Structure 1
């Protein structure tokens, strides 16, 4: 099986993987799936912010890495950072969840953030998705600030990992 990392080029494939992963996680944990806008996906792909892991040419994992916060920093209560980067839209195809793809995605994000000169990697997560929350903790992300809820009542926490 051929594995390859690439900067995403196909917004439709990325958006489909993201939505499939969201639905699977929501069903698995009894949580609400986020409302994803295809326009946001197109923008992020066009900006070169989306990385995809493919097996034999089929996208199986992805994440977005960018310099702009994906949440309200005033609410996050994160420690100061000189040059933070933000990890978001972590998604894994349900068919490969047991194969460590989520771990590979977060490790790749850490590697890319270091290479870009970031001093920390930040993320927002739904703690009800315990698999994702535990994965981030295993890889050195620490929660800062309180548990918050978005406008739909979905819980949110903010995490930071020193690089």
Structure 2
């Protein structure tokens, strides 16, 4: 066993555990398991040739795996930019709106001066948070730059 293979198997809990995983997996699972190992090795600084040697497969297999991993990443980024991010923004704004409404209801319904002041402070803080969220040019510019970058990546 090579030094890299020994390192890989010891990092993953030993060769026997890895072999057990491989034996119990079907063909699709084997590909997904290998791709998981490829991305793990790449994230640790190994190049594709080293990944192929460590995993005992041809360099072309690793190249196909990397292409598939990139395509999966593009797809996830596209979903995030087009669906997840807008929905999360909507949820955040809705949550802030709910806080504002509840705080106003509390401020209007209480007879306790301290509670009234605390509720008004919460209303003020929620409006500030909402304003900052919608108008913070730093956050908006970073987000817009990231979205532009993601769109360019998706177009590749």
TM-score (norm 1): 0.23
Q: Which structure carries more relative contact order (alpha carbon 8 Å, separation 6+)?
A: 1
Greater helix share, 1 or 2?
2
TM-score (norm 2): 0.24
Greater strand share, 1 or 2?
1
Give the number of the structure whose alpha-carbon radius of gyration is greater: 2
